[in-house]
Each structure stands twice: as structure tokens, then as C-alpha cells.
Structure 1
């Protein structure tokens, strides 16, 4: 029995594996891997170099064990593990993988390699794999599994239970999906309702007819939201004619949520949406991040141009330059807070895209209140720091911060909502684009207010 282990045990196990690798004690390492849960093996592998990862993977005791490790690895690591594997060995691992995992892995290879692997897969599974590979990436069809339990609506409860008992190894049976003679989805039955119903009844008598189902083209994020909202263990996938295709299971939904959250966080940080960025080479990493840094560069140049336009003001009152970082920093921070709150609300479904005005108004009020508080504090602080050498400096600083924070919250709250309505990913709004816009507006406001009051 392979038991799950905790972080302290993971660290101890990692050190043990490191020692065995140095000693080239393959036999002992295989014994340890045999006793270790595949998910823990996958976690351990991330702490080793490429050659060591391959050694660990190759020493996994069985094709079943290797297959379960593959299920837990990132795409880049899977490619590294299988790049030198023969098509025969890959097909042997595939016996223990669900069809959606098979399709995902096969799609990583070249067309020639794909053909070799597909030729070695059992004929009964070949059609399922090719079907899943035909659906768009990140759609319900591309992540569904074909390992399901379906029966005709006229089947009796007794016969259903008997057929269920013939599949003791199938861990994907959460519900019984009821079909008609044309393979169309008619209803669903939980296992609890099944075993508590009279044996003589037919499935159509006890099935739930009000079904939530996804089409094969439905975005995987929408599937995850539906499963999470209704606490389902799986969601059926149908085509446009309502014919049953497969299911998206809860373990796949967890992966989807993790992937989508990773993409959102990466975009909020302004580094793109490639989830494997940590595994990329320095050159690939730089290529991914360069466009986002360029956006910041353009914003910086615009801010510099604004400052240059008011250079006559700075020459007369150089002390104004001392507070530019404060104006930019505090506005950027509260703007990022607002955009992050909105993006997260959109991701979890707590933000109603059809009624956004109250939400934007609320953020503006928050920005105004905090702007008055921090504007007053910094205004008094500026008078103390500069020794009141410039009359009304505190008023300029305080008013600039109040206006900057209010506008920053308006921009931070509005941009994600606008992007969502235009069918763009709102997560990009919390990256350099919003912060750059807020920096430009903050600097412009600062010098406009200073010109009006001090000149």
C-alpha cells in the first residue's frame, strides 16, 4: 500500500534518493519508489535535474507506476521523460491512463511519433483518443474521459447493480448516466439513489431529468465553475444533438482550477500565461517576459515626457521631485488592489458583469476615503520634511495623493470589467497595463495641481 506523506517526510525522502543516486544504488531506489505514492514521486522529481529526473522515472518499478507518475507531472516534464522512450513502452504505459490523459500526452509529440504510438494502442481505445485530440484545447471535449458508466433508460435497478459489480476497478463511476435508444442523455442517477431504490424499478423511473451538462466546445473554466457551484463529482459532456460523449471528473476539475489560477497569477504579475515558465531556459523565459516589460518601458517613457514638459516647474521648485515616487507608488498599489479584487471576483463568479456600476462606485469611494486619509498624512509630513520652504506644498501633495488614489481605484476596477465585456482575459489588467496607466495619470495630475496652486 502506497501512503501519502507529509512535507517533512518528503524532505527526508528527497535526501535519501539523492544519496542513492550518488551511489548509483538502482535496486534500493526502485524499492523505495515502489513504496512511494506516484503523486509524491512526481513532487520529488521537481527538485532534481533533468538527468536525475529521467533516472528516477526509469527506475519506477512498473508501467502502471510510471503512468500514474506521468498523470501528476507538468507538460514540460512529461516531454522530458518520454522523449527517448520507445513507442512500445509508451503504449504500455497508456494502458493505465484515462483516454483524456492519453490524448494530452500524445498531442505533445510530433505527427510521426503520434502515428507510431496510435498504431500500438488497442483498437477499442484508438477512436476515443483520436476523438478527444480533435477537440479544441481547453475545451470540455479535450479534458473529458470516456471511461464512464451508461445504461439504457429501460434497464432495471437490479440489472444496473449487477453490471456495476462487473467493474470493481473503475474509479470513475460517480453516477449512472441514463441514455435513450439514440444514445442521447436523458438523466443521471447517483449511486446512493440507485442502491436505495427498489430492484424492479427502471432507471427512467428514478433518474434526475434536470441535468447540467457541458457541450464538447464549452470552455474548461466554465466546466470547473459548474462543478464547483453545484458540488458535483463529475459533469457529463454532450454534443449539439445531446448525444452523450463522456464526463469531466472532479480530479480533472481540480487540475483545471489550478491551471487557470496559475495563468491568472502569472498574468497579474506581467509574465504571460505559460504555466511552465519555471521550467523554461533563461532565453525562453526572457522571451516570454520581454513584451510585458516593454509595456512598462513605454509607460515610463510617457511619464518621463510628462515630467520633462513641466521641467520649468521643477527648476523653480525642485522639492516637488522628492514626492514623485510617493505619488506613483501609492496610486499603483491601490489600483492593483482594486483590479485584483475585481479579477478574482470575476473568476469566482461573485462579480455580476451585468451590474458593474455599484461595484466601480464602491471602489471609487474606497479610493477617495483612503486618498483623503493618506493625502492628509503625507501633506503634513511634507511640510515637516521640507521645513515649509514652499508655501502650500502640503496642500499640493495631499490633494495629488487624494486624486491619484481615487482615479487609480476607478481605473483598476473598470479595466478588468471592460476587458471581460470585450471577451478578453481580465487578468492581464492587473499586470503592467493598469499600473503603467496609473503611473502616467498620477504624474500628470501631480504637476497639473502643482501648476495651478504654486504658480
Structure 2
């Protein structure tokens, strides 16, 4: 019900914008923009044409709100809008944006346009932004806000509360970060602890000294796992000497979790890893999916080759051909299931280093149980369906599907675990790669078993 209501509100808002655009009602459009939440504006921009997007964007007058709006946009729409915008206006928006949003905005521009925008900023602003842009993409440094609330360990609780009341530039203060004389992070204090502590107590006496912190180069997925595991609202980011650089807040982590999950699902489906795939052209989508489908195509060629090698076996017992689709389909399905379970376990931190053998044995056992069950059922079906076929047909079919499902479960588990060992994204192990390899192995096992019985 809530989803339907939300969709109805978005449709109504979109139609209102379009009606005002047709009437050229500039004043009403400006008022509507000011009343609409930036997140809702970002959603309805997906349904606007390029011309409508440009018209509405030019009417956004508050640079700070505009920066928040840009940070909520889909990447492809953001790039499309800003590449058509004047560098002067982008510079004004960047100046009002938070440090983490500044990097997001500038990374969406071409190199030349980014440089032209930076040249319009003050020297100190340029240096701060260039430092953020230097961090690897999808790292904690690229996500963090440098406007962080931190105090010296010798400050009192009274001074901390006063400073908290006076601050208006820092990112929302979830915690008070405590530093020493060298600006190294030495502790953290919750707002609740600060509020109930005697005013003259030093921060060094109430801070938690065991602080979970990440380096600026830490992958954003690792930051997301840390936040999810400990239910943090923010995570401090430090350099090699544990000097506080900034914080990554939970709202940014939510975006990371969504983006990483989308990327993993796309890779597991063999559709590339571009999170903006729905906003890309048909040609770009085709190029992204071409290499992934090539694996399936090549696997089909190999499977056909295997079948061709055993052409004599098929001619002698034509009923064997009827079960090739089942052998390939069941093996591919259980292989994909196993690989998907392992990949998601790795992504969520539930699969630890050192537990690989236990995981492999568990999935192999599942493959053995399911393979045995479906092997018996398919073997019985083969015996009663093809009564005139050789007596061994049911046994061949049953053994083949049982072994292929067992092997498929093992392959689907081992491939992502191996890829993680060699620092390759395990998500590519599912979909076409697993099903293709399992299809070839399944067909080969089928005909090897059939040949063995024919020679008896």
C-alpha cells in the first residue's frame, strides 16, 4: 500500500511539473521546487526528458539544496545535466556542497570541465577538493565528509557541549571524536555519555579508547560491513598515523550497500556491473553484456562438441538424447544456487577466511542429497517412460544427474572462494561462468557413464 501511494505521489508531482513547464509558469515552478524534497526531485528527474531536466535545473536557486539534489541523482542523469551547465554555476554549487558530495559532483564531469570548475574556486578550496579526488573511487576517502566534530582530550564536558551547540559546519554529530596533541584519534564519546557527565570531567576520562576506524584507502564495501556489524551511525577515517581525516556516515553507507548489491546482482546475472544499466542506451547495454554472453556461447559450442564425439552412443540408444536438457538444467541450477549463496556470504562477511573447507563440504553434501533424490526420481521415470530402451537407461540417467548435481554444487562453491583468494570479485563466478562449466561437465559425465554401460 505504501509503495502504491508513493508511486501515486511521484506521478502526481511529475505531472504537476510538466503542466507548469508547458505554461511557462516560472514563479510557480520555483515555489514547487522549494517545497519538494530533494530526494523526490531526484526521483521524478528519471521521468523527465533532457529538455525538461534542463529547464527545472536552471530554476533551482539555493546552491546548498541543489548540491543535495545532485548527490541524490542517478549517475547518468547527473553527468547529463552538469555537462550542459555553465562551469560558473557548478563552481557555486560545489562551494556549498559537503566535502563528500563535492567529489561526487566533480567525478561526474569530464576532465576538462572538472579543471575549469576548480579554477573558479579559491586556492584553499581547490587543495581540499583535489585531496578528496585523489582517493580511489569507491574508497572510504571518496565517501567521507571532512567536516568532522573533534575535540582535544583535555577539553571538559562543558566545553564540548558548548562547542557542539556553536558548531554549524560539521557533518551531523553522532559522536564526539577525541584527539591528542598530534591530532591523532585516541577515543570516541557518544552524545548520551557527554550529556550525563559532570561538566568539569575531562573527555579523556569518559572516552572509549577502543575505536573502530578505517583508512582512507579502505574499500567502501568493508566500511559498510563495519557499520552493519556494529550498528554504528558513523565511522572515523584516519591516515597512516591515525590522524583523523573525516567520517563516513550511515546515510552514505546505505547508498553503498544498495550500489554494491545492485552491482553483485548484475554480475551474477551476467549483465555487466554498471549500476546505471537501465539508463544506458541499447548499444551500451549490448556492449556491456557481450563478453558475459560469450562465455555461454562458448560453453554451448563445447557441449555440442562433446555430444558430437559421442554421436555413436546416441545412435545406439536414442532415448539418451531426451535427458540431455534435464542433466544440463539441473546441474546449472544447483551450481548457480551454490555460487550465489557463497558470493552473498562473502559480501555480507558471513564467509570467513579459514572456513572454506567447511563451506565446500556443506554444499557438496547438499549436492549429494539433492542429486541422489532427483537421480532416483529421474531414473524411475526413464525406466517407465522408455520401456523398450536398454535396461541400464534408468541407472545411467540416475547416476548422471546425481553426479552432475554433486559436481555442480562443488564447482559453484569452489570458484567464488578461489576468486576471493586471488583478489578477484567473486560475483563474476555466478551466472554464465558457473552454468557454462557445469553444462560441459554434466554432458561429459553423462556420456562417459553411458559409454561404460554400453561396453559391459
**Which bracket does the TM-score occupy, shorter chain normalised?**
over 0.9
Q: What is residue 121 of structure 1 aligned with on the other side?
A: 121
Q: Deviations over 1:115-140 (max 9, x none)?
A: 32123335553332111111111221
Could you state the TM-score of these two structures normalised by the residue count of structure 2? 0.94
Instruction: Specify the SS of the correspondent of 1:6.
Output: helix
> Match for residue 239 of structure 1?
239
Query: What are structure 1's unaligned runs of at least 5 residues?
Result: none
Q: CA deviation at 1:446?
A: 0.8
Aligned partner of 1:161 in structure 2 is 161
Q: Paired residue for 2:255? A: 255
Deviation track 1:382-434 (CA, whole Å, cap 9, x = no partner) reads: 23333443332222111111111111101111111111111111111112111
Cα 1:131/1:320, change in 2 over 3 Å: same
The reply to whether residue 39 of structure 1 matches residue 39 of structure 2 is: yes
Residues 324-365 of structure 1: CA distance to partner in whole angstroms, max 9, x if unpaired? 111101110011000101111111111122121121111111
Matched, 1:207 2:207: yes
SS of aligned partner of 1:286: helix
Instruction: Check 1:47–1:388 CA distance in 2 against 1; reply closer, same or farther (3 A cut).
Output: farther
TM superposition shift of 1:32 = 2.7
Asked if 1:321 is matched to 2:324, the reply is no
Aligned runs of 1:383-398 on 2, under 5 Å?
A: 383-398=383-398
**Judging changes above 3 Å, is the alpha-carbon distance between structure 1 residues 454 and 54 closer, same or farther for their aligned structure 2 residues?**
farther
Q: Which runs of 5+ in 2 are unaligned?
A: none
2:180–2:186: 8 Å Cα contact kept in structure 1?
A: yes
Q: CA deviation at 1:60?
A: 3.4
CA distance in 2, matches of 1:114, 1:32: 31
Per mean C-alpha deviation after superposition, the further-off stretch among 119-128 and 188-197 is 119-128
TM-score by length of 1: 0.94
Distance 2:48 2:113 in 1: 27
Cα distance in 2 for residues equivalent to 1:55 and 1:221: 37
- Cα offset, 1:24, TM superposition: 4.6
Counterpart Cα distance in 2 of 1:122 and 1:174: 30
User: 1:278: Cα distance to partner?
Assistant: 1.7
Contact 2:148 2:246 in 1 (8 A): yes
State whether residues 147 and 171 of structure 2, in contact with CA within 8 Å, keep that contact through their aligned partners in structure 1: no
Tell me the residue number matched to 1:221. Answer: 221
Q: For the residues of structure 1 that align with 2:333 and 2:396, how far apart are their CA atoms? A: 20
Question: Alpha carbons of 1:381 and 1:12: their partners in 2 closer, same or farther (altered >3 Å)?
Answer: farther
CA distance in 1, matches of 2:19, 2:394: 64
Q: Contact 1:54–1:81 at 8 Å: present in 2 too? A: yes
Where do residues 160-309 of structure 1 align in structure 2 (5 Å cutoff)?
Answer: 160-168=160-168, 170-309=170-309
Q: Secondary structure at the match of 2:245?
A: strand
Deviations 1:91-118 (A, max 9, x none): 2222332112102221232333223212
Q: Compute the displacement of 1:447 (Å).
A: 0.8
CA distance in 2, matches of 1:303, 1:166: 71
How large is the Cα RMSD of the aligned pairs? 1.8
1:126 alignment partner, SS class: helix
1:147–1:172 CA contact under 8 A, matched in 2: no
Report the number of matched residues: 451
Question: Does 2:42 align with 1:53?
Answer: no
- Counterpart secondary structure, 1:95: helix
8 A contact 1:328–1:439 mirrored in 2: yes
CA contact (8 A) 2:149 2:171 kept: no
Aligned residues of 1:33 and 1:61 also touching (Cα < 8 A): no
* 2:349 corresponds to 1:349: yes
